[in-house]
Chain A
């Protein structure tokens, strides 16, 4: 029997081979060197759908999932509520089994949703144009740096804040590996932004990349930074957490030239890190330097409004080695999720999500700061994520939380060696007050026995 995903039978194949004019399927592979033709392959045996599902479920059971655990872990991937409209609509065949809308007339669904996504992102970020998306927040950031280097000729330096997500900084370096671009600013992880700009900002600087709220959760008033970057003739690139934009000012308002970000939080599954959504938006003057797909509004021959891929002269399939990027993908399905998410929550709902995050995070921060041995800097402005200085290594505390079905925060000593015992805690609308109270209680318990032991000595 042929595999169940292949419709043709032996009789179908025999008739087709006859039309082709060959005796057997082997005749169609004569050009493949005989010495390289496989006789067997070392793979597991084929599984029926039932067996496969059992096995997948068994594997999945060995993963602690966020339906059964309270999550206070963020660091670039956030546990936000996804309205039922999102999975319902993105799992429609017409969306998920179509491809890049090359034939516009029968791809208007995908094209209009991308146009709507672009419009929603422009409104959130305060930019003039957004593309149809990148792979994730890391690669969108790297592409923004490339845009800056190309847009400001004769300059070869990119300044990054040390509080840009460590994995984004790593990705940026890989992307620019083969080009003569210097990436500076994060050699001293403790240096504040002002000092970094004083040290590095000059007439060789093409762009400055700042995350806001930064990786450590702190929210910055960046207006004067933007002015300073512009005065030096460089582009100001802001990596923003889209949910925070339900509450905080659009980066375009405080002077960003390019806004990038990780769009996962907009209706996309947290899914062990992917697939996510790279947000990329910029001002009108840089549109033709953007990477990626763009959808534009136009009219058909009868004058009706319609949508099409546009400004394709930037892209690899036309410009080949002169293209702005090699990107061919857009994360259309993730962008659709964001589009449905923002439409469903709408003006009031989206703001409400941001407010819930803000208030719950501040409630948690105050409670944790009141615990003996724990400290949170409450003078710093933050959105929904903050640093907790703990009385013990984060891994130990997280183990104690795990036993209460709580996924604790991110261990900052992984990337910031000077931040020993520092935990990055994220709170979202998904954390009910009881969960936060349980977190606080368990944090107290996790270290109280230790402190008692210490005081006894």
Chain B
């Protein structure tokens, strides 16, 4: 029997037939007006398919996807945790899904209250009480944060600062954000223990430094052992510390970035706070800041005046970073999630995420080279596939593709850039011990296969809907749009 998922699925334009319709709309119930014919289009090339064609087409396509609801999705720094179903019930309540952003806010008090309370909760969790829910994603949170820092310096008449310090282990969004903000990026090396190199940081930090962008735990999955000293070095030169909150899942409820010395941070609600990743989005990236920086935040922000909630722009706001009020339904999900855990259980997220990661590391480190296995990792860890490459000619890409054959999503690969042949593994707290064991067993088996049958890995995946794709051709002769 051919598995349906592995049968090629035509493109939507190749389905259906001329005149076929997927929806029936009511007849026009008002007198019609003459159309301005000189402005009207002659041609509209859209599919002609029936409802059943649509449902089967997209259902078949869905079966060509791996997803969190099928099993472990251990993409490092992505926090692919289970997405609780209550979240999806919440966002379908008409009082959230069917309200207009500009309707009189006296008729949207429930929505505003939720935004207000979520702001308070994120302020408490981060230890940074100024909160904007506007940013639509982590990268947009970064842009927001750096522009807030820029506004802070300029408001003090400090116009000479041009350098943003970014560790070499950082996400690509950090340097990209810095240049979007008009700044020069200065990379900072990591030391042998995987921390930011404090000696080098001291050398680089000066009166031209805008901020340090630090991810903690960093992308090696390690808690920055010198975080407080690093923050002090930066503060001593009058600069601020930006926290990339991509890895907040490791310390949520355990420690607060604000207490560690961070001045500004974003959090990815689609990571730590269970908003589903949606195939790449939508997410949300609220930004939290020190109290004195709140006046610069982009708005509007939910405020409480007496018994009434309202949306207001902070006094010296950097402006808007998007339209309306942030990714509202993502915010509803995060609110729902935090209320599910409450003060009693929040720290269990980090505790279990860290136990799960260390357990996987313990099971794998004898077989795979784990460059920082002398330390406890946090929510994720890195492996270096170089020994497989030198000994058997098998690279990390081959290993990742072979993982697919065992029915799992591969980890993040070739990132962070400072670890060659990197596999970056983040199991999250929502994996059971037995699911971690299955995953570890598969990786151990693959290590054996690398030795005995390297070709099996080179040709992987064997059971996926397609084999490896010709990416060179895709980039050299781009076909980005269907043409018949």
Q: A31-B376, A63-B95 are in contact. Are A44 and B33 (CB under 8 A)?
A: no
A390 is an interface residue with CB less than 8 A from chain B: no
Kindly list chain B residues whose C-beta atoms are within 8 Å of the C-beta of A245: 41
B167 is an interface residue with CB less than 8 A from chain A: no
B280 is an interface residue with CB less than 8 A from chain A: yes
- Compute how far the CA of A112 lies from the CA of B51 in the bound complex, rounded to whole angstroms: 19
Kindly list chain A residues whose C-beta atoms are within 8 Å of the C-beta of B180: 175, 178-179, 325-326
- Compute how far the CA of A328 lies from the CA of B175 in the bound complex, rounded to whole angstroms: 13
- Compute how far the CA of A97 lies from the CA of B48 in the bound complex, rounded to whole angstroms: 29
Question: Do B481 and A129 touch (CB < 8 A)?
Answer: yes
B25 is an interface residue with CB less than 8 A from chain A: yes
Interface members, chain B 77-103 (any A CB < 8 Å):
78, 80, 82-84, 86, 88-103
B28 is an interface residue with CB less than 8 A from chain A: yes
Task: Return B217 CB to nearest CB of chain A, in Å.
Answer: 9
A118 is an interface residue with CB less than 8 A from chain B: yes
- Compute how far the CA of A88 lies from the CA of B47 in the bound complex, rounded to whole angstroms: 19
B393 is an interface residue with CB less than 8 A from chain A: no
Stretch at the interface among A155-163, A190-198, A290-298, A369-377: A290-298
New A-B pairs, 6, CB < 8 Å, besides A16-B356, A109-B61, A307-B469: A112-B64, A116-B482, A123-B44, A174-B321, A296-B479, A348-B48
Kindly list chain B residues whose C-beta atoms are within 8 Å of the C-beta of A407: 100, 103-104, 107
- Compute how far the CA of A3 lies from the CA of B345 in the bound complex, rounded to whole angstroms: 6
A52 is an interface residue with CB less than 8 A from chain B: yes
Kindly list chain A residues whose C-beta atoms are within 8 Å of the C-beta of B70: 93-94
Q: A25-B354, A247-B35 are in contact. Are A296 and B342 (CB under 8 A)?
A: no
16 contacts between A and B (CB under 8 A): A20-B358, A22-B358, A45-B343, A63-B109, A79-B100, A109-B64, A274-B327, A294-B480, A299-B470, A300-B467, A320-B185, A321-B185, A326-B176, A332-B279, A355-B28, A410-B102
Question: Do A433 and B30 touch (CB < 8 A)?
Answer: yes
B385 is an interface residue with CB less than 8 A from chain A: no
Task: Return B348 CB to nearest CB of chain A, in Å.
Answer: 5
Kindly list chain A residues whose C-beta atoms are within 8 Å of the C-beta of B8: 304-305
Q: A8-B433, A47-B340 are in contact. Are A98 and B468 (CB under 8 A)?
A: no
Question: Do A350 and B121 touch (CB < 8 A)?
Answer: no
Contact with A along B304-346 (1 / 0, CB 8 A): 0000000000000011111111111110100010111111111
Question: Do A105 and B401 touch (CB < 8 A)?
Answer: yes
Q: Which of A19, A31, A118, A296 contacts B475 (CB 8 A)?
A: A296
- Compute how far the CA of A137 lies from the CA of B110 in the bound complex, rounded to whole angstroms: 26
A336 is an interface residue with CB less than 8 A from chain B: yes
B409 is an interface residue with CB less than 8 A from chain A: yes
Stretch at the interface among B196-204, B247-255, B441-449: B247-255
- Compute how far the CA of A104 lies from the CA of B430 in the bound complex, rounded to whole angstroms: 24
Pairs of residues from A and B, 3 with the lowest C-beta to C-beta distance, nearest first:
A273-B324, A60-B95, A46-B342
Stretch at the interface among A164-172, A229-237, A448-456: A164-172
Kindly list chain A residues whose C-beta atoms are within 8 Å of the C-beta of B86: 49, 52-53
B278 is an interface residue with CB less than 8 A from chain A: yes
Kindly list chain B residues whose C-beta atoms are within 8 Å of the C-beta of A313: 475
Assign chain B's interface to a size class. Answer: 35 or more
Stretch at the interface among B140-148, B235-243, B286-294: B140-148
Kindly list chain A residues whose C-beta atoms are within 8 Å of the C-beta of B479: 296-298
Interface members, chain B 151-207 (any A CB < 8 Å):
171-173, 175-183, 185
Highest count of chain A CB atoms <10 Å: which of B9, B90, B95: B95
Question: Do A106 and B409 touch (CB < 8 A)?
Answer: yes
Question: Do A37 and B254 touch (CB < 8 A)?
Answer: yes
Question: Do A350 and B46 touch (CB < 8 A)?
Answer: yes
B130 is an interface residue with CB less than 8 A from chain A: no
Assign chain A's interface to a size class. Answer: 35 or more
- Compute how far the CA of A318 lies from the CA of B111 in the bound complex, rounded to whole angstroms: 39
Task: Return B159 CB to nearest CB of chain A, in Å.
Answer: 13
A262 is an interface residue with CB less than 8 A from chain B: yes
- Compute how far the CA of A333 lies from the CA of B49 in the bound complex, rounded to whole angstroms: 21
B455 is an interface residue with CB less than 8 A from chain A: no
Question: Do A106 and B336 touch (CB < 8 A)?
Answer: no
Task: Return A447 CB to nearest CB of chain B, in Å.
Answer: 18
Question: Do B100 and A247 touch (CB < 8 A)?
Answer: no
Contact with B along A1-27 (1 / 0, CB 8 A): 011111110001101110111100101
- Compute how far the CA of A83 lies from the CA of B471 in the bound complex, rounded to whole angstroms: 36
Q: A56-B93, A59-B114, A99-B73 are in contact. Are A356 and B25 (CB under 8 A)?
A: yes
Kindly list chain B residues whose C-beta atoms are within 8 Å of the C-beta of A44: 121, 339, 342-343
Highest count of chain A CB atoms <10 Å: which of B108, B185, B255, B330: B255
Kindly list chain A residues whose C-beta atoms are within 8 Å of the C-beta of B432: 7-8, 12
Task: Return B39 CB to nearest CB of chain A, in Å.
Answer: 6
A115 is an interface residue with CB less than 8 A from chain B: yes
- Compute how far the CA of A20 lies from the CA of B365 in the bound complex, rounded to whole angstroms: 11
Kindly list chain A residues whose C-beta atoms are within 8 Å of the C-beta of B84: 5
B3 is an interface residue with CB less than 8 A from chain A: no
- Compute how far the CA of A401 lies from the CA of B250 in the bound complex, rounded to whole angstroms: 50
- Compute how far the CA of A246 lies from the CA of B175 in the bound complex, rounded to whole angstroms: 41
Kindly list chain B residues whose C-beta atoms are within 8 Å of the C-beta of A348: 19, 21, 48
A289 is an interface residue with CB less than 8 A from chain B: no
Kindly list chain B residues whose C-beta atoms are within 8 Å of the C-beta of A328: 137-139, 172-173
Question: Do B69 and A97 touch (CB < 8 A)?
Answer: yes
- Compute how far the CA of A33 lies from the CA of B260 in the bound complex, rounded to whole angstroms: 8
Interface members, chain A 146-161 (any B CB < 8 Å):
none
Kindly list chain B residues whose C-beta atoms are within 8 Å of the C-beta of A305: 8
- Compute how far the CA of A246 lies from the CA of B35 in the bound complex, rounded to whole angstroms: 13
Q: Which of A297, A333, A358 contacts B35 (CB 8 A)?
A: A358
B124 is an interface residue with CB less than 8 A from chain A: yes
- Compute how far the CA of A81 lies from the CA of B26 in the bound complex, rounded to whole angstroms: 11
Q: Which of A21, A85, A89, A271 contacts B96 (CB 8 A)?
A: A271
Kindly list chain B residues whose C-beta atoms are within 8 Å of the C-beta of A177: 147, 150, 181-182, 318-319
Interface members, chain B 24-48 (any A CB < 8 Å):
24-26, 28-33, 35-36, 38-41, 44-48
Question: Do A356 and B46 touch (CB < 8 A)?
Answer: no
Kindly list chain B residues whose C-beta atoms are within 8 Å of the C-beta of A273: 101, 323-326, 328
Interface members, chain A 330-389 (any B CB < 8 Å):
330-334, 336, 339-340, 342-353, 355-356, 358-360, 362-363, 381
Question: Do A287 and B39 touch (CB < 8 A)?
Answer: no
Kindly list chain B residues whose C-beta atoms are within 8 Å of the C-beta of A102: 75, 412
Question: Do A99 and B111 touch (CB < 8 A)?
Answer: no
- Compute how far the CA of A362 lies from the CA of B28 in the bound complex, rounded to whole angstroms: 12
Question: Do A311 and B54 touch (CB < 8 A)?
Answer: no
Question: Do B139 and A316 touch (CB < 8 A)?
Answer: yes
Kindly list chain B residues whose C-beta atoms are within 8 Å of the C-beta of A293: 280
- Compute how far the CA of A351 lies from the CA of B28 in the bound complex, rounded to whole angstroms: 13
Q: Which of A6, A42, A246, A429 contacts B429 (CB 8 A)?
A: A6
- Compute how far the CA of A282 lies from the CA of B194 in the bound complex, rounded to whole angstroms: 43
- Compute how far the CA of A13 lies from the CA of B353 in the bound complex, rounded to whole angstroms: 11
A122 is an interface residue with CB less than 8 A from chain B: yes
A432 is an interface residue with CB less than 8 A from chain B: yes
- Compute how far the CA of A135 lies from the CA of B323 in the bound complex, rounded to whole angstroms: 9
Q: Which of B11, B281, B324 contacts A334 (CB 8 A)?
A: B281
Question: Do B280 and A108 touch (CB < 8 A)?
Answer: no
Q: Can you name the residue of chain A whose Cβ is closest to the Cβ of B253?
A: A41
- Compute how far the CA of A130 lies from the CA of B21 in the bound complex, rounded to whole angstroms: 25
Contact with A along B245-287 (1 / 0, CB 8 A): 0000001011110011000000000000010111111111000
B400 is an interface residue with CB less than 8 A from chain A: yes
Kindly list chain A residues whose C-beta atoms are within 8 Å of the C-beta of B103: 64, 73, 407
Question: Do A123 and B46 touch (CB < 8 A)?
Answer: yes
B58 is an interface residue with CB less than 8 A from chain A: yes
Highest count of chain A CB atoms <10 Å: which of B40, B178, B324, B473: B324
- Compute how far the CA of A16 lies from the CA of B434 in the bound complex, rounded to whole angstroms: 11
Question: Do B65 and A98 touch (CB < 8 A)?
Answer: yes
Question: Do B33 and A363 touch (CB < 8 A)?
Answer: yes
Q: Can you name the residue of chain B whose Cβ is closest to the Cβ of A436?
A: B30
- Compute how far the CA of A136 lies from the CA of B282 in the bound complex, rounded to whole angstroms: 10
Kindly list chain A residues whose C-beta atoms are within 8 Å of the C-beta of B461: 105-106
